[in-house]
Structure 1
Amino acid sequence: MTKMYAAIARRALVVAALTTFCFTGNLLAQNKAIGFKQGAPFSEGYIAGNTLYVAGQQGPDAHGKVTGTDIALQTTNAIAAVKKVVEQAGYQMSDIVSVTVYVTDLADVPAMNEVYKKLMADPKPARATVQVAGLIGGAKIEISAIAVKH
């Protein structure tokens, strides 16, 4: 009897190990970078399992430059840049569950909120807003996001 139980236990362990390997292997196979720019030290987004991590987006103009000091315009462009990464990854704006907004001046938050309320999908994702000393390129705002496929 003991040998029979030992054989059953060994088979169960092998099945469990193979199932874990296959499941983990499938998750790893789904991981991929989104919007990697040659020479850049990061990807615009990264999919891990069913989660998309969107790098901070500033929303430059068509020439790749941050335009003006208008927080409303920069917010519009930053959200458009987030949307581009989200959709390129096969997600929707409604899949976003968390956002971090970096601003160089907290006085800009009310104007940023007006644009944000109009452009971000409902229900609004969880959000943190942080004032920073400065952003690359002289931007006034940068937005990062996390999206999860439901």
Structure 2
Amino acid sequence: MAWGLALRASARAKGAYVLVCGMVDVRYYDIGDVPYGYQEVSMNKEAIVSSKAPAALGPYSSAVKVGDTLYLSGQLGLDPMTNELKDGVEAQAEQALTNIAAILGEVGATMQQVVKSTVLLADINDFAAVNEVYAGHFEAPYPARSAFQVAALPKGALVEIEVIAVL
């Protein structure tokens, strides 16, 4: 709160504008139009679930839609029927991407609408194998992507993939 108040005071002194950021929009307001403190931005968020993908493993949503953007939680290579991990990194990557496609399908989206992905690997040496599977699910222009080795993944998974799609 102190930062917001300092920003407002600084902007008033210079006769400038205040930048107000929210999850769904960014607006510039003339300093005279901004009430003291923070400007509230309304946000409608909707949880998205699919019977064709595994349920969340904890207190989070498999996906959340905000405006025209869909944020998917990381998907493991879990078979939605058995809730068991597939065997091997390639099979887990294939299942994770299949789960992602199923969740996207719930809002009428496809893998081509994915703009950003993050791949988490239990072993970075599996990068090439996962990359080969990954390439089979996307076409150019490919989504922006990050890939990391992590200490461990839930349920002892070998790979986890999360994405952001624009609807």
Which stretches in structure 1 are left out of the alignment for 5+ residues? 1-23
Match of 2:83 in 1: 64
Q: Deviation per CA, 1:50-90, whole angstroms, max 9, x where unpaired? A: 0000000002123001122x111111001001111111122
Match of 1:140 in 2: 158
Deviation at 1:92, TM superposition (A): 1.6
Match of 2:134 in 1: 116
Q: How many residues align?
A: 123
Deviation at 1:93, TM superposition (A): 1.1
Larger-gyration structure (1/2): 1
In angstroms, what is the RMSD of aligned CA positions? 2.1
Q: Distance in 2 between matches of 1:39 and 1:94?
A: 26
Q: How does 1:1-150 map to 2 (within 5 A)?
A: 28=44, 31-35=45-49, 37=55, 40-61=58-79, 62-68=81-87, 70-149=88-167
Give the secondary-structure state (helix, strand or coil) at the position aligned to 2:85: coil
**TM-score, normalised relative to structure 2:** 0.68
Which stretches in structure 2 are left out of the alignment for 5+ residues? 1-40
Show structure 1 runs of 4+ deviating over 6 A. none
**TM-score, normalised relative to structure 1:** 0.75
Matching residue's letter, 1:97? V
Higher relative contact order (CA 8 A, sep 6+): 1
- Compare the two structures and name the one with the higher helix fraction: 1
